[in-house]
Amino acid sequence: MGLSAIIAQLCIVSWCVTTMLYDPVFASKQKCFCDFPAIFNFGDSNSDTGGLAAGFPTALSPPYGETFFGEPAGRFSDGRLIIDFIAKSLGLPFLSPYLDSLGNKFVKGANFATAGSTIRLLYTNIIPSGQFSPFFLDAQFTQFVRLKFTSQKAKKRGRSGYAITPKDKDFKKALYTFDIGQNDLNAVFLETLSLDKVIESVPDIVQNFARNFQDIYNISGGKTFWIHNTGPIGCLPVILSLLPSTIEKDEAGCAKPFNEVAQYFNSVLKQATLNLSNQFPSAAITYVDVYSVKYSLFAHPHKYGFDHPFVTCCGYGGGEYNYDNNVTCGGTTTANGTKICVGSCQQPSNRVIWDGVHYTEAANRFVFDRIVTGDFSDPPRSLRKSCFTSTI
């Protein structure tokens, strides 16, 4: 960013601060907050709004979606995800999954996330026979390029299809969000059953993320990027239920070695975002610490109105975690000659974990309410001010 641009932005920041003190209503109308015309999201199940369900229609069944949508809505939760709350807070509609071609419009952005997605390419254990998505981050980038190319092509030809794709200028002004990496850690562990191997893989995983980020930056012309770190995987029932009772646990009851791996990944990712910020000084790149917010739900659940943080709401088996990897949410099993459908608990709004892997809508809302302020961001800027390279 040139000196004149920096001075101009600092003037805007100073004017906004002064104006908000004396006339916050007027200030809100004068671009003191970012005005994002669209969102483009890259990620996994934590932000998948229907991508996997579009490719594999049997991926979800009731009671998924029961709290907000009243039916499965492509989300691995009982309701909305963090990305849904982000869109709503910016006055934008829920993001349409890129893979769903049934009547979707992408004027306000698109979601390339699919459940099971990784940063690095996996050669084994891929859906439908495995558990990881074929749409890893490279593939999501390719889909983004395709969408941008289609938009430009439609505009040049004056076709009506341009009405369902983003405008060229909106690609530059859009918010770009990322929530991916957790499955890479899980994939390495499942393949090697070694946490040391997971740790060894982290630099390469993050390097692949940084390469994709650069490609997206160069192709999109975008300036605002919001990057989530990964959550406390050692607190998830899917992990805890598979581990021996001798595994070391922290004060909250989470598997300490697994959370340490997540924290290491996050530290490398944070350094990478700092390097990217230095490499692209005109871009506003925000690193968002969702790990700390999610961990607080397990460490102090009652403080925030939650109960039984380690007990799966929509699960089977009872016990400490109410989770069985062979009989998951929405599935069926037979016990004593009786068919049992795996349904949800009575009050999902009081629970943290929905299906043993993913969070409830109530937990997602909790996380959003705390990260939107900028209190868990580096630099410490709120979502509505994330387009500024200086904080206000």
The residues that are catalytic are 45, 355, 358
Residue 178 sits at φ, ψ, to 5 deg, of -135, 135
- Tell me how far the alpha carbon of residue 383 is from its chain's centroid: 14
- What pairing do the DSSP bridges indicate for beta strands 284-288 and 377-378? antiparallel
